[in-house]
Structure 1
Amino acid sequence: MFLPFKKQSNLSYRIIPIRQVVEKIERSYGVTLFHLSPKRIFFITKDRELCLCSPSSKFYKTVNRYWVDITIKQKEILDSYKKSLLVFRLENEQIFFVEWTRLSPLLTSKTMQYNTHEQYHWKLYIYNDYIHVGKSKNILSGEIEPFANWRKNEN
């Protein structure tokens, strides 16, 4: 019997595996990160000093951007660490790096959205040189860069 091949999103869109991001952060910050079960995209240090969140997104051509949702629970986790980092893993082996202290103030009750799957959450639209927080005019400057070049000077 023939079964159709099921595409795996990380392979289909050439998204950097999360393990590579974890290893790069460990080297750059001189820490050891552990998976925060059952959260697939969270890694933490045992001393609660550092938290890494690394969601992924393909590029949506119809709207000319990437997008990622941040849930209330994810925000609570990121808020609970001394230093929290977001590394958005994007199609074509690119990333967008953000320190949580820069993004967190933009995520307010007024910028939340609701749907039955994520419940209340924030929608982040990622463009080449900024992140736009949905339902607001809030933007955070930054840039998409190739993973291979990211933090090169710290290795």
Structure 2
Amino acid sequence: MEELWRWAQENALALYGAVVGTAALLINVGKYIHTVRKDEVKLKISIRKHDEYDQGVEKLKQNPATSTGAGWQPAYIVRVTNLGSIIAHLQDVSLVCDKGSMEGLCVGRDGFLVKVSEVSNKSIQAKDSKDYVVWNTVDSINWKPKVVTVQDQTGKEWKRKTRGL
């Protein structure tokens, strides 16, 4: 034990340099990771039934003709939240169901339903969110959503399984 103490006294400057150098390395690695991650797109996806889901299903069952205006009814709301610190530019939002795919969810624009991929402004500001409505038709009344997929303009995909809908 005495030898160890003597060695530490003789090499105090080297020990000090090793401790300070290691601390500086850890601080710089932390800064690098923070810098890289702050410019990253981070999205959170949630889905819920639309407030008018039950009424819409009843309307579709009573009058399934698409030409009457009752052929499309709101079913689900997909909320995409940008958790990152930069603007997220979306390419598309889609919903996969147990009986098929509802590719290209629609959003209301000027009184018409338009696919998300066809809308020009699909950007979500940092720390903000945007809702997209999934519309039911008479053919998709009994479909149960399984996975929601969001794709940004770089091609990266975020997926969320739907449970309990």
| TM superposition score category, shorter chain reference | under 0.3
Higher strand share: 2
What TM-score, normalized to structure 1? 0.25
What TM-score, normalized to structure 2? 0.24
Q: Find the structure with the greater CA-based Rg.
A: 2
Higher helix share: 2
Structure with the bigger RCO (C-alpha within 8 Å, sep 6+) is 2
